[in-house]
Structure 1
Amino acid sequence: MKKIIIVSTVGLIYDGITSVITSYLEAMNREDLKIYVVSTIMSESKIEKKIEELGCEIVQLPSRRKSPIVYFFSLAHFIRKNNIEVIHAHGNSATLSIELLAGFLGGCKRRIAHSHNTRCDQVRADKMLRPLFNLLYTDALACGNEAGLWLFGNRKFKVLKNGRNVKKYSFSLEKRNEMRKRLDISDCIAIGHVGGFFEQKNHKFLIKIFREVLNRKPNAKLFLIGDGPLKDEIMKNVSDIRKSVIFVGTVDNVNDYMQAMDIMVLPSLFEGLPLVAIEWQINGLPSLLSNTITEDCNITNMVRFESLEEAPYIWTNDILEMLEKENRLENSQKAISLVRKNGFDIYDNAKILEKIYKS
Structure 2
Amino acid sequence: MSESELGFSSRAIHAGQEPDASTGAVVTPIYQTSTYKQDGIGGFRGGYEYSRSANPTRTALETGFAALEGGSRGFAFASGLAAQDTLLRAALAPGDHIVVPSDAYGGTYRLVNKVLTHWGVEHSIATIADLDSVRAAIRPTTKIIWVETPTNPLLGIADIEALAALAHEHDALLVVDNTFASPYLQQPLALGADVVTHSTTKYCGGHSDVVGGAVVVGRDITVPGFADLEERVAFHQNSMGAVAGPFDAWLVQRGLKTLAVRMEQHCTNAEVVADFLTGHRGVAQVLYPGLPEHPGHDVAARQMKRFGGMVSFRVAAGEDVAIKICAETQLFTLGESLGGVESLIEHPARMTHASVVGTELEVPGDLIRLSVGIEDVDDLVADLAQALDRLT
TM-score clears 0.5: no
TM-score by length of 1: 0.35
Q: Kindly indicate which of the two structures has a greater share of residues assigned to helix.
A: 1
